[in-house]
Amino acid sequence: MMGKRKVRRGGGGGGAGVAAATAFVCAVGMSAAPERAQAAPREPTPGAGAESGAGSEGAAGSSLQEVHKKVQGLYRKAEAATDAYNLAREKQARQEKRIVKIAQSVVKAQKRMTGLRKRAGAVARAQYRNGGIPPEAQLLLGDDPESFLDDITLARKGQQATRGLMNQLEKTQATLDGYAKAATREWERLDSSRAKKAAARKEIRAKLAKAKRLESRLKAKERERLRQLEEEQQRQAQTTWLGSGILRKIGGKGTSRGLRAVDFATAQLGKDYVWGAEGPDTYDCSGLTQRAWAVGGRSIPRTSQEQWRQLPKVSVERMRPGDLIIYFKDASHVGMYVGDGAIIHAPRPGRQITVAGAGSMPILGVVRPDGVEG
């Protein structure tokens, strides 16, 4: 596990980024590509090689390759499900807020309706006291011809006021009906989000439990070898990425906001990955990037998939410190570019926030939270 390292402010391959990452990336870039391990065409049997004596090392290695592949696949699926969980949780929170706002609006509308009904009741009582005779008839029955015209004007104003009162009552009732329908729709959406969240949680727990069962069957030496296999796979991918000469094209300098986000992410090095966690002691991959950019002064979506969908995209060649690299076809993982061909990310359960090669996983694309050109 890497310790916390100081970030040097600046751009890409021109000497900026994470100081520790420079040594890491250079070592990765200069090392020979590791030998390709051959997968055995049988179910993994961890520990078999340790008990088989001479000539069994290759078989044990093949078994570990299969375990590694299965464990990685399970963690990838769990991470994708974690994104679904986080998105459903985020939607649920928004829907709950909307329901509260609707309820507050209903209270205001009901108060208005109560006042209008009181006024309508007063008008009805006034008519009752006059024997229920319409104002026009009362005018015709009056015995003061001189005030007849004035009374007609007043009567018309009274009629307009009554019609206005009735219109207000109808509009307020329609508003209340609209709120009722809106609340029903939001409750249905809320129930849907809760169901999706529960399903995602169930899937996550099942995948993580299966991965842990696979890893728990390994002996200590095999678990260490499994970690080495992960690192070898990532090192090979990083070597290939660097071999393309990509670092000669990347030289953008981070903005003040981007560098604040990088500083925050760097300060989290060594903390555990926990699915669904947003800090301050543990994070998942997108929880880390979201929190880092909040410190940088920008609010970004909670999940890597939504970060990919909503944030401005830039090419890898224009990448600069603070940008987010989205990984895998389903956008299920994210890391923060910190310069010198390196990222800081929260890898998976059982691992800690660390520095890694930016090309150590399949890159889907790059997004820029601050949206500033340059």
Mapping DSSP to helix (H, G, I), strand (E, B) and coil, where does residue 345 land?
strand
Active-site residues, by number, are: 285, 333, 345
Strands 363-367 and 313-314: antiparallel
* Residue 40, domain member (yes or no): no
Structure tokens at 231: 């690192």
Contact 132, 123 (CB under 8 A): no
Same-domain pairing of 153 and 268 = no
* Residue 44, domain member (yes or no): no
Place of tokens 């329908």: 181
Residue-wise pLDDT for 248-307, tens only, equals 999 889 999 999 999 999 999 999 998 888 999 999 999 999 999 999 999 999 989 999
Same-domain pairing of 275 and 355 = yes
Is it the case that residue 43 has pLDDT exceeding 50? no
CA distance 116 to 128: 18
Total domains in the chain come to: 2
Q: What Cα–Cα distance (Å) separates residue 57 from each residue in 37, 60, 62, 336?
A: 12, 5, 9, 38
pLDDT at residue 196, rounded to an integer: 78
* Residue 52, domain member (yes or no): no
pLDDT at residue 124, rounded to an integer: 67
Residue-wise pLDDT for 68-119, tens only, equals 778 777 877 777 777 777 777 777 888 788 888 888 888 887 887 787 777 7
Contact 303, 353 (CB under 8 A): no
- DSSP 8-state code for residue 272: B
Is it the case that residue 123 has pLDDT exceeding 70? no
> Shortest CA distance to 239 belongs to which of 62, 17, 32?
32
Same-domain pairing of 109 and 83 = no
Same-domain pairing of 255 and 155 = no
CA distance 335 to 287: 11
Task: List the end-to-end C-alpha distance of the chain, in Å, as a whole number.
Answer: 34
* Residue 7, domain member (yes or no): no
pLDDT at residue 166, rounded to an integer: 73
Contact 313, 326 (CB under 8 A): no
Cβ atoms within 10 Å of 77's Cβ, excluding its own: 19
Over residues 177-194, the mean pLDDT reads 77
Same-domain pairing of 316 and 252 = yes
* Residue 96, domain member (yes or no): no
* Residue 222, domain member (yes or no): yes
* Residue 84, domain member (yes or no): yes
Comparing 200 with 365, the larger pLDDT belongs to 365
Place of tokens 């071999």: 243
Is it the case that residue 67 has pLDDT exceeding 80? no
Structure tokens at 116: 């209008």
Over residues 7-35, the mean pLDDT reads 41
Mapping DSSP to helix (H, G, I), strand (E, B) and coil, where does residue 334 land?
strand
Angle between helices 19-30 and 220-243 (to 10 degrees): 90
Give the structural domain span for 183. Answer: 104-199
Q: Of 183, 199, 215, which residue is a domain's last? A: 199
Residue 186 — pLDDT band, cuts 50, 70, 90? Answer: confident
Structure tokens at 30: 């200069």
> Shortest CA distance to 106 belongs to which of 189, 185, 181, 187?
181
For the chain, the average pLDDT equals 75
Residue 353: CATH number of its domain: 3.90.1720.10
CA distance 343 to 326: 11
* Residues 6 or more apart in contact with residue 309 via CB below 8 angstroms: 301, 331
Same-domain pairing of 123 and 156 = yes
CA distance 195 to 235: 40
* Residue 308, domain member (yes or no): yes
**Phi-psi sector, 117: left (phi>0), alpha (psi -120 to 50), beta:** alpha
> Shortest CA distance to 366 belongs to which of 246, 193, 208?
246
Residue 55 — pLDDT band, cuts 50, 70, 90? Answer: very low
Global pTM value: 0.57
Q: Of 155, 182, 199, which residue is a domain's last? A: 199
Comparing 328 with 106, the larger pLDDT belongs to 328
Same-domain pairing of 229 and 191 = no
